[in-house]
Amino acid sequence: MGGIWLRPESSDEVAEAVGDARRGERALEVRGGGTVLSRLGDAARPAPTEDADVLSVEALSGVVEHPAADLTVTVAAGTPIDELAAAVGEAGQESPIEPQLAGQDPLGSTVGGRLGTALASPRQLAAGRVRDWVLRVRYVTGEGRAAHAGGATVKDVTGYDLCRLLTGSWGTLAVLTEVTLKLRPIPPTRAWHRTTVPRSQWRAALHDPSAIIVDSEGTSVLLEGHPDDVAEQASSAQLAPSEPPTLPGGARAAVDPARTDDLVAELDALGCTWAAEPAIGLVHLDGDDAALAGARAAAERHGGRLLRLDPDPQTPTFGADPGPEPFAARLQHAFDPDAVLAPWRWSS
């Protein structure tokens, strides 16, 4: 029998679907909008196949609660990111895990997918990582057990912070069913700027830039805040107003921020186009197969990793499998003892 698409409509139905898969010895690919999954190589998305089904969380959608005065929102995990932005935007609020480069975040991506991948927006320089905005998650483990971690307010939590563990787990530990996020007021001004002057000459004039993105021709800077403050910073750093940068979307390399410049120094010779967030240690890349293979080798030499997000079915997404790491293996076993949730993920 070929694999099927499962579309549970509640957390109970998710638990039932995972329990059924476990008993039937079938694997599950958890899927939100599929905007990232559909870009990965075949090895990374085998479902639906003979022995693996797709568990789509699309039907778990909508705002559950938005107590605006508390600057928090609770949404079902399949809620599209743009729907979240519209809902909290009505109250003049935003979640910095929303996309910020117009037209570059694929339509249809979901809150659960954003947490699943932890692929942050360029504003993480000021806003922090995706995991920093997660207050509580409700989830179903690979054992088919419903649970929750964290709390709806910042102070009502004790014990291990499983929200952070599940953020970036790529659908391998649990199915997220509901997410509570911290919010903040939308800044009155948000403006991109550009300069070709090396950043050492103007960086000290900016006290809190939201993004600094360097490419081979110059640097884009996002300033947010009070209009006078933004204008003052732009003027003292001699930045010119500009459009948002276009980020290469074929791959992302992550290294220690102190190694970003060393990695970038190798990329032109490899034939890659790149845009780097030096303070984050993140480099967005494009290039042909040979160029991206060279970039992956360079990233690994610098102690980092390269994630490929291109449609070549033969391309390994995560690079060489680092092999079984005892603690990670035990953790995986605790959440998903029978390897129901995308057991192929890290070797694909």
In the complex, which residues of this chain contact ligand FAD (CB under 6 A)?
A: 30-37, 39, 57, 77, 81, 99, 101, 104-106, 109-110, 112-114, 116-117, 119-121, 170-171, 175-176, 249, 309
Closer by beta carbon to ligand FAD, 151 or else 249: 249
The answer to whether the CB of 223 falls within 8 A of the CB of 136 is no
Q: Check: CB of residue 290 under 8 Å from CB of residue 312.
A: no
CB of 275 to ligand FAD, least distance (A): 11
**Which residue number, 111 or 237, has a Cβ lying nearer to ligand FAD?**
111
CA distance 21 to 28: 7
Closest CB to ligand FAD among 196 and 243? 243
Give the pair of three-digit tokens for residue 313: 């079915």
Nearest distance, CB of residue 324 and ligand FAD, angstroms = 20
Instruction: Pick the closest to residue 178 from 87, 95, 78 (CA basis).
Output: 78
Cβ pair 59, 76 in contact under 8 A: no
Rounded to a whole number of angstroms, the minimum distance from the CB of residue 313 to ligand FAD is 16
Supply the minimum distance, in Å, between the C-beta of residue 205 and ligand FAD.
Answer: 26
Per-residue CA distances from 258 to 168, 177, 302 (Å):
23, 37, 10
Specify whether the CB–CB gap between 285 and 250 falls below 8 A. Answer: yes
Q: Which is nearer to ligand FAD, 72 or 169 (CB)?
A: 169
Nearer to ligand FAD, 114 or 296 (CB): 114
Q: Quote the CA–CA distance of 135 and 78 in Å, as a whole number.
A: 17
CB of 115 to ligand FAD, least distance (A): 7
The answer to whether residues 154 and 133 touch, using CB atoms and an 8 Å cutoff, is no
Sequential DSSP letters for 221-282:
EEEEE-HHHHHHHHHHTTPEE-PPPPPP-SEEEE--GGGHHHHHHHHHHHT-EEEEETTTTE
What minimum distance in Å lies between the beta carbon of 118 and ligand FAD?
A: 8
Q: Return the number of the residue (38 or 235) whose C-beta is nearest ligand FAD.
A: 38
Rounded least distance, CB 48 to ligand FAD, Å: 14
Cβ within 8 Å of residue 206, ≥6 positions away: 221, 223, 233, 237
Q: Which of 212, 223, 244, 240 is nearest to 103 (CA)?
A: 244
Residue placing its CB nearer to ligand FAD in the complex, 139 or 202: 139
| Least distance to ligand FAD, CB of residue 166, Å | 7
Structure tokens at 179: 């997410």
Rank residues 237 and 280 by Cβ distance to ligand FAD and give the closer one: 280
